[in-house]
Chain A
Amino acid sequence: MNPLYFGRAPKALFGVYHPPKASQARGSGVVLCYPFGQEYMRAHRAFRQMALLLAKNGFHVLRFDYSGTGDSSGDGTDATLADWIHDAGEAADELKETAEISRVSFVGLRLGAAIAAAAADGRTDVDQVVLWDPAVRGSDYLVEILTERTDSVGHSRTSRSDGGTIGSMGFPVTTRLRTELEQFDLLAVGPPRGTSARLLVTSHEREEFSRVASHQLPGVKLTTQLVPSDGSWNEVDDYGGALIPVLLIQAIVAYLSQESV
């Protein structure tokens, strides 16, 4: 496991590259796309576990922080959805160069799933895209993350700052980011070029997941899988409880392993 910065300063992105277990090495890689805000904090360890399991199954893996998030450069108030989609593409290029491979897959959770799909749109080197509990309509997602919450002693966890920025449980959501999310619809995102496969894997049933499940894209073989588990990503507790849905992670790794060479 190698932590590293990639990309050009001042836009350097933090990532962790997991090389494959030597005896099982495949000629393809997986880019992991985190969710946003407290969901990112809550999912961080699960992504590490998934990366370790994928590497054990022979994949080159790169998980990374979008600009203005995690350890990557930039401030949260400068972050945009367009930048994050670009970052995911840059991460895929970095992984191909580092691992000397020619094909990649993307796995994304919640907003990360939307980013993964958008980053894969039009690329010619994508094998699979895994959408895990995806954010489908940006406007619905916004409502979810900006819903008023309080802590155990009644403090609000939605805050406001100058310039119209709203704090979603401690993470800034700027006016620009809200506008981008309002306009985003996963069903409007195109497929990669050529043939590829898509997995919609969900922890629970939801109307918007059904929309994705019935949405056919040219050249894309769609698989759907429901793995009942806790999907409460959009929560926070004072001591940073992390979710690691083991069965769901195993399902994703099994899917990618079966679909890849």
Chain B
Amino acid sequence: MSHGREKAIKFGTGASLVGVVTEPAPGTATADKPAFLLLNSGILHRVGSCRLSVRVARALSAQGFTSLRFDYSGIGDSDQRRDALPFEESSVLETREAMDYLTKTKGIKRFVLMGLCSGSDMAHETAVVDDRVVALMMLDAWAYKTPMYHVHRFMQRYAPKLFNWRVWQNSIRIRWQMLRGTYQGWRKPDPTQGVELEVATYVRVFPPKERVERDLRLFVERGIALYFVWTGGLREYKYRGQYAASFKGVNFNGHLREEYLPEADHIITGLKQQDLVLNNVVAWANALG
């Protein structure tokens, strides 16, 4: 698949942020197409989980879309900020700076935000405050339980195990070890000298459902297209349609597309699942116009 030129850039005011702009493939660009911003997932740098962001950027380029994948401050190649802004605020600010950059250099004024996990959280938060966002592509976004969630959870998790003797055997063994104080499973390993385990400063806490519902009404009012995909790796989501069912008070009016990939893990390591996500995102982008 041929794609457009890629350019390494630095931008941002609060920190020096590093990103890569992928231009539309020659002969595919049209003035009306929005640009995609591909956001960090956790502390994975801008290439995305299993290089998904790079592949998405190039596939979109072949269809005439510009994209920018970049690192938030303190992640990947980007510097730490000099101010004390918390990640929840700096990431929104920096996403808006990424939009400013593409507006200034390419004249693009409409944007699609795409993110996995924390990337989807930041996409949501940015869309609330910036009306240049016209669409959201979210992987493993915040999810909320419904009565049917519990039914599906039971069917997926426990029903196959009820008649499995090995599961019962293990359960009895673990409980016996716990009674004797010999169970090892929950003990944390000792920290190793001289190693720092770098983890995201952002702690993922799903916001109150009422707040998200209010945001969703705003998104629908602004005509934002919503494409949500959940993997089997997010414990809070168990069946296709759960998101719409958990927000019955919102009339999505055809703006919501919801998919479930139960076979995929949270970081989408399956090669076939990666291809599926890639193809679906490109098809959805083309339908956006």
Chain A interface residues (CB < 8 Å from chain B): 1-5, 9, 12, 14, 16, 41, 44-45, 48, 69-71, 73, 75-76, 151-153, 155-157, 159-161, 165, 167, 169-172, 227-230, 236, 238-248
Least Cβ–Cβ distance between A165 and chain B, in angstroms: 7
State the CA gap A229–B197 with chains docked (Å).
11
For B168-208 the 0/1 string (1 means CB < 8 A from A) is 00000000000000000000000011111111100000000
Contacting residues, chain A, for B42 (C-beta < 8 A): 238-240
Known: A45-B43, A241-B197, A245-B195. A12 touches B6 (CB 8 A): yes
Known: A167-B269, A239-B117, A240-B44. A73 touches B6 (CB 8 A): yes
Known: A3-B9, A170-B50, A171-B50. A239 touches B194 (CB 8 A): no
Least Cβ–Cβ distance between A73 and chain B, in angstroms: 7
Additional A-B contact list (14), CB under 8 Å, known A153-B265, A228-B192, A229-B195: A1-B16, A3-B8, A14-B8, A69-B51, A70-B54, A161-B272, A167-B269, A171-B50, A238-B233, A240-B41, A243-B195, A244-B196, A244-B198, A245-B194
State the CA gap A227–B264 with chains docked (Å).
38
Asked if B18 is an interface residue, CB under 8 A from chain A, the answer is: yes
Asked if B274 is an interface residue, CB under 8 A from chain A, the answer is: yes
In the complex, which of the residues A76, A157, A240 contacts B265, with contact meaning CB atoms closer than 8 Å? A157
A-B CB contacts (within 8 Å), total count: 147
In the complex, which of the residues B10, B45, B55, B194 contacts A227, with contact meaning CB atoms closer than 8 Å? B194
Asked if B47 is an interface residue, CB under 8 A from chain A, the answer is: yes
In the complex, which of the residues B54, B76, B269 contacts A169, with contact meaning CB atoms closer than 8 Å? B269
Asked if B217 is an interface residue, CB under 8 A from chain A, the answer is: no
Q: State the interface size on chain B (CB cutoff 8 A).
A: 49
Decide: B265 and A5 in contact? CB cutoff 8 A.
no
Decide: A229 and B271 in contact? CB cutoff 8 A.
no
Which residue from chain A places its CB closest to the CB of B156 in the assembled complex?
Answer: A153
Least Cβ–Cβ distance between A13 and chain B, in angstroms: 11
14 pairs across A/B with beta carbons < 8 Å? A1-B18, A2-B10, A5-B6, A70-B47, A70-B54, A71-B8, A71-B47, A151-B269, A159-B271, A159-B273, A170-B271, A170-B274, A229-B195, A241-B198
Least Cβ–Cβ distance between B33 and chain A, in angstroms: 22
